[in-house]
Amino acid sequence: MPTQPTAGLTNGVHHTEIRVRFGDTDPYGIVYFVSYFRYCHRAIEEFLRACGLPPEETFKNVSEGFGLPIVEAWGRFRRPSIYGDLLRIETRIEEVRAKAILFRFEFYPETGRELLAEGAATLVAIGPDWKARDLPKRIKEALKKNK
């Protein structure tokens, strides 16, 4: 049975809605840069779920003997957002390599096309020994179907 992309993931772009919460800002009321990286992780979680890959069995899968840690992350923060704002993250897979997945993120206001922030994250498949290994075939296929 093929993986059915659910609402949220269309033509390889997943839309995640984020509300800026009380603890997400800096002391001056502006979203703390660290919060954007937390939002990016949430966007990856929702992207995986929409591909039919439950994150709680994907970031670490004991029975199949692999993990999928984030080994690199980057963000550029262009315009300030504040408490209460509704943001929309557009998440794309930039590349699926033999052992790695590269995600790209763009943050926009709920309505509007002004780029507020952007980011990237690289996940690498590892075995129980923490050494890089090939991505499980079923994960690769589920992701490529939504690339």
Is 29 a residue that touches a second copy (CB under 8 A)? Answer: yes
Give the count of residues interacting with a second copy (CB under 8 A).
41
Whether 24 is a known active-site residue: answer no
15 touches a second copy (CB under 8 A): no
Q: How far is the CB of 45 from a second copy (least distance, A)?
A: 7
Residue 26 or 110 with smaller CB distance to a second copy: 26
Contact call for residues 91 and 47 (beta carbons, < 8 A): yes
Please report, as a single letter, which amino acid is at residue 131: K
Q: State the minimum distance, in angstroms, from the CB of residue 11 to a second copy.
A: 25
3-state secondary structure 87-140: EEEEEEEEEECCCEEEEEEEEEECCCCCCCEEEEEEEECECCCCCECCCCHHHH
- Only one of the segments 63-71, 94-102, 103-111, 132-140 lies at the binding site for a second copy (rule: CB under 8 A); that segment is 63-71
